[in-house]
Amino acid sequence: METKYIFGNFTVGSSTGIEGEKAFEPETQANFGKGGGGHYAVSQTALEYEFTPTQYMQIIFGPTVSYYNIRGVPGLDDRNMGAINGFEAEFRSVLIDRNPSPIAVTLSLEPEFHSRDETSGAKVVNYGLEAKLEADAELIKNRLFWGFNLLYEPETTRADLGQWENESTFGISSALAYQIVPNVVIGADLWYLRHYDGAAFNSFTGDAVYLGPTFYWKIAPQGAHERRMGNTDRRPRARR
């Protein structure tokens, strides 16, 4: 089983796909809120092209498209617009293969550029680099899988031609996935994040814990559908 997708919202498995495989994968995150006369709805979609040149490497890249519908939210300007707001790439390389090792490990590096703030839609210049170790193991053959991720993400942002502001995020996650029948997997995913001012964990600003159930259904040999329950943000971030 390809473990990259089976763990759900936050934890990513180590598999890189089949050599020569190509795919187009749109992936959307959305946040909604309403109260006190205000309305908030923001989504971001990554239009990803995925290519696996060898069984030990995977390359993913594409633009990101955002939509903002914000009205009457304290601290945020009203905004109703859509925009191409950036570009993301990802390079995944297998460090430890599953055979003969019982644990497989992949290194993922994801450089990003965004021209609008993901929360408010205000114009910014934002650069980030997400570095992640993605590990998993097969605890019960073809049945029970365990996943573990370790994350470090430095970012720098400049708004309104002002000063560059640096921040960093440390994250650790763990997940279990159980194949109840062939190609149908259920599980649970736990994610802990710490946010800091400065690119090297200079000043602690806050942390967060996410926990939720997961469901994965592989429809056909060349395609799969994933239903994510709980918090749907693939990469949650703390923001000032």
Look at residue 221 in the predicted model and tell me its pLDDT. Answer: 63
- Percentage of the chain beyond pLDDT 90 is 71
Q: Nearest CA to 65 among 88, 50, 49, 44? A: 44
Residue numbers of the domain that contains 130? 22-228
Is the pLDDT at 73 greater than 50, yes or no? yes
- Percentage of the chain beyond pLDDT 70 is 92
On whether residue 91 sits in a domain, the answer given is yes
Is the pLDDT at 159 greater than 80, yes or no? yes
Q: How does the average pLDDT of the chain come out, rounded?
A: 89
Does residue 101 or residue 131 have the better pLDDT?
131
Q: Nearest CA to 12 among 218, 216, 154? A: 216
Stated pTM of the model: 0.84
On whether residue 114 sits in a domain, the answer given is yes
Q: Which amino acid is at 217?
A: W
Between 58-62, 112-116, 156-160, the lowest mean confidence (pLDDT) is in 156-160
d(CA 228, CA 136): 19
On whether residue 222 sits in a domain, the answer given is yes
Q: Where are the beta strands (DSSP E) in the chain?
A: 22-35, 38-54, 57-71, 79-96, 103-116, 123-140, 144-159, 164-181, 184-197, 203-220, 223-228
The mean pLDDT of 151-163, rounded to a whole number, is 90
Is the pLDDT at 188 greater than 50, yes or no? yes
- At 204, is the pLDDT very low, low, confident or very high (cuts 50, 70, 90)? very high
Asked if residue 109 lies in contact with residue 129, where contact means CB atoms within 8 angstroms, the answer is: yes
On whether residue 148 sits in a domain, the answer given is yes
Look at residue 222 in the predicted model and tell me its pLDDT. Answer: 57
On whether residue 120 sits in a domain, the answer given is yes
d(CA 20, CA 3): 18
Count how many domains the chain has: 1
Asked if residue 127 lies in contact with residue 155, where contact means CB atoms within 8 angstroms, the answer is: yes
On whether residue 2 sits in a domain, the answer given is no
Is the pLDDT at 36 greater than 70, yes or no? yes
Half-sphere exposure of 33 (CA within 13 A, CB side): 13
Look at residue 104 in the predicted model and tell me its pLDDT. Answer: 95
Say what the alpha-carbon torsion angle 32, 192, 163, 62 is, to the nearest 10 degrees: -60
On whether residue 151 sits in a domain, the answer given is yes
On whether residue 188 sits in a domain, the answer given is yes
Would you call 187 exposed, middle or buried from its count of C-beta atoms within 10 A (0-12, 13-18, 19+)? buried
CATH number (domain holding residue 115): 2.40.160
Look at residue 229 in the predicted model and tell me its pLDDT. Answer: 42
